[in-house]
Chains A and B, each alone.
Chain A
Amino acid sequence: MGSVFLPHLHTGWHVDQAILSEDERLVIVRFGRVYERECMIMDEFLFGIAEKIKNFATVYLCDIDEVPDFNSMYELYDPCTVMFFYRNKHMMCDFGTGNNNKLNFLVGDKQELIDIIETIYRGARKGKGLVISPIDYSAKH
């Protein structure tokens, strides 16, 4: 349900513009398929926190079937992948899972997601390209 209320990006150009246009805030793009279970839950989380984090982050959704432009570049083959950008720079985060490029698993709850986003924002403000996640997901995923 949450996916209905969040802005969708329908072409590669839209995705680029979304990442480029934001100067002060983190851009969070969810790549995935709306009908997948994992994706639905993540959309629900993102919709739930979108209003809370609007001061420092903005959320977009992108269907990887509709926009396959980034699939090879970002290796988007999971049902749901969340990626973070700041000033047109890809932000990496060490979740302890081995893949620092993206969040391709389900976090426990909304607050965990907020914590991760806040940590990435802090690191991004300091000019870091890689931050360490406040919660370690090595054991869970």
Chain B
Amino acid sequence: MTDYENELLADFGSDGESDVDVEGIEDKNLEVEDENGYVPGGPREKSSESSETGGGASLDPGAYLRHLISNSSITSLQKSLETFDISKIYDITKDSKVLPIIGYLRDKISSYQDDMRTDYEELMSTLTFGTSSNSEVSEHSSSEISQYQFILMVNEISSIINNEVSFIHAFNTLHYKVVFRELETIVSNPVDYARIMLLIEQDLSSINKYQEDLKSIVSNEKVLVITMSAIQQVQNSSDFKLSEPDFNTLRKSSSLVLELNELLQDLSVFISNKLFRFAPNINAIVGPITTSQLLTASGSLKQLSITPSCNLPSLGVKDLSSQTSGSTSRRIRQTGYLYHNELVNQLPEEIQKPVLRILSGKITLAARVDLSKNATDGSLGSKYRLDIENKIEKLLAPPENRGDKALPIPMDPKSKKRGGRRFRKARERLQMSDLRKAQNKMAFGQQEDSIMDSFGEEIGLGMSRGVSTAGGSSSLNIKVNNRVGGKVSKAMEARLKNEEANVNLDNFLQNTNKEERTERNATNDATRRINDERSESKWFSGMKRKRDTND
């Protein structure tokens, strides 16, 4: 048991793995055996051999696959670059995590592809004879479930394979650099790089004879650039060559890249075939990759169909909390699977959001159609796809150029004021009084009277006092506007009266208090004095005091 655990640890190259995890794997391992009934080799029987082969091939591939998926962090490129020092690795194929299970995956694919045919035959037979036993049906569905799970798993493993390819690519470039420095910058695709490396090996000086073969790998322009830089390399630097065993490891690793790439292609073909059966309409809209991603993220087709469409763009978002930093896009927070789909990804940023909305709406509809097993040929999905493309085209169209809009005719609108008795009265109440008008006028050549207001401002009285003639008395007879002034409502009148009574009562009480203190003066007198105090302003307090002393 411990032996087995140690092996696992060694395989995964991560020292941080706890024992609990490993036991978890073992549990999964057992489950897989039960589910699939596929046991290529018992782990415990083969454990003795594994030390010799040095690979994970000895383990149950299904369990191994699950482990890889559940610990996808350890397979990420960055992690592997951190944990492994590429320059010190001699044979990278030994560290490959996917290599041991290639065979298993191939087996699975072929078996399920055969399944499709047999399923179909079975279905036909049950239809024709009309006698399908329950056990047969359940068997059928269980195989379907496991197949479905395998599809979901394949989706995960493809990203792992991609990571591994870039890891090996890093290894290749590091070692091949000494032979052909510029190839890395010219050919960025790992697969093409590996192919070219296998083709020309270390024979840079006679690169011209490979030209035809190179043309089958990369474009003509690239071939030219590669040839030129290879000749340059030969001329400039001393013709450095790797030793044969060194280059052998490079050969091995690049053929591994090719193999992995082939596996990836097989997987994608398999998945698109299979998805066409499970979810033909979604597949028709967004293609097999996004479909499988969405199915994985939501769990099942049923789950996907009951997910509200507004939630679909959020599926596959790496970290919702770190969206504020906005490294990728400021407009779109939900950079999930749909965002990375080629239908959305290449669009300009400003219309990505509406397109995401349209797309997710259609996907939800298509998921429901798929769930109900209608339109199994994906016709509805392709119709939706056309709709979406039309809508995108409309969104992409530039806005119509309308030119300048003519200004409206500058006509003054008719006054909305009403006429009539009531309106006239209201206006009279608020209009300036004749007295005020007279105040604003000044007699010519005469000094006007003025008063000081409470703020110390001088206010001219104009002709309101009447122009003082030689006699000194007013000669103007100014009409007083009786209609000016606010009206007091009955309620207000009652309130005022009430208030007055209260004030009187207060005064009375205060007076009695004062009387007690001073012990003199009649109540009437005191009332009058307090009233004075209230009504008169502070400037007259001196007078009052004087009167008090007089008293």
Confirm or deny: B543 has a beta carbon within 8 angstroms of a beta carbon on chain A: no
Residues of B contacting A56 with CB < 8 Å? 407, 409-410
Contact A51 B404 (CB under 8 A): yes
Contact B409 A52 (CB under 8 A): no
Interface residues of B in 399-418 (CB under 8 A from A): 403-412
Confirm or deny: A125 has a beta carbon within 8 angstroms of a beta carbon on chain B: yes
Contact A51 B411 (CB under 8 A): no
A82 smallest CB distance to B (angstroms): 18
Q: Which of A6-14, A34-42, A69-77, A114-122 contacts B (4 or more CB under 8 A)?
A: A114-122
A43 smallest CB distance to B (angstroms): 17
B361 smallest CB distance to A (angstroms): 41
Partner of A53, one of B403, B407, B412: B407
Residues of B contacting A52 with CB < 8 Å? 404-407
Residue of B nearest to A115 (CB): B410
Contact B407 A114 (CB under 8 A): yes
Confirm or deny: A138 has a beta carbon within 8 angstroms of a beta carbon on chain B: no
Residues of B contacting A121 with CB < 8 Å? 409-410
Residues of B contacting A122 with CB < 8 Å? 410-412
**A37-63 toward B: CB 8 Å interface, digit per residue (1/0)?**
000000000000001111110000000
B68 smallest CB distance to A (angstroms): 68
Chain B: interface secondary structure? loop
Give the size range of B's interface with the partner: 10 to 19
B410 smallest CB distance to A (angstroms): 4
**A118-134 toward B: CB 8 Å interface, digit per residue (1/0)?**
10011001000000000
Residue of B nearest to A48 (CB): B404
Q: What's the Cα separation between A51 and B405 when bound, in Å?
A: 7
Residues of B contacting A54 with CB < 8 Å? 406
Contact B411 A55 (CB under 8 A): no
Which of B403, B408, B409, B411 has the most A CB atoms < 10 Å from its CB? B409
Contact B404 A118 (CB under 8 A): no
Residue of A nearest to B410 (CB): A118
Q: What's the Cα separation between A136 and B412 when bound, in Å?
A: 22
**B380-406 toward A: CB 8 Å interface, digit per residue (1/0)?**
000000000000000000000001111
Q: What's the Cα separation between A54 and B405 when bound, in Å?
A: 10
Q: What's the Cα separation between A118 and B412 when bound, in Å?
A: 11
Contact A55 B404 (CB under 8 A): no
Partner of B403, one of A51, A114, A118, A125: A51
Contact A51 B412 (CB under 8 A): no
Contact B410 A51 (CB under 8 A): no
Contact A55 B412 (CB under 8 A): no
A23 smallest CB distance to B (angstroms): 14
Q: What's the Cα separation between A55 and B408 when bound, in Å?
A: 7
Q: What's the Cα separation between A42 and B246 when bound, in Å?
A: 82
Residues of A contacting B404 with CB < 8 Å? 51-52
Which of B403, B404, B405, B412 has the most A CB atoms < 10 Å from its CB? B404
Residues of A contacting B412 with CB < 8 Å? 122
Contact A53 B411 (CB under 8 A): no
Residues of B contacting A125 with CB < 8 Å? 411
Residues of A contacting B407 with CB < 8 Å? 52-53, 55-56, 114, 118
B402 smallest CB distance to A (angstroms): 11
Residue of A nearest to B404 (CB): A51
Q: A52-B404, A114-B407, A125-B411 are known contacts; what are 9 more A-B pairs with Cβ within 8 Å? A: A51-B403, A52-B406, A53-B407, A54-B406, A55-B408, A56-B407, A118-B407, A121-B409, A122-B411
Closest 7 CB pairs of A and B: A118-B410, A51-B404, A56-B409, A55-B406, A52-B407, A55-B409, A54-B406
Q: Can you list 26 A-B pairs with a CB-CB distance of less than 8 A? A: A51-B403, A51-B404, A51-B406, A52-B404, A52-B405, A52-B406, A52-B407, A53-B406, A53-B407, A54-B406, A55-B406, A55-B407, A55-B408, A55-B409, A56-B407, A56-B409, A56-B410, A114-B407, A118-B407, A118-B410, A121-B409, A121-B410, A122-B410, A122-B411, A122-B412, A125-B411
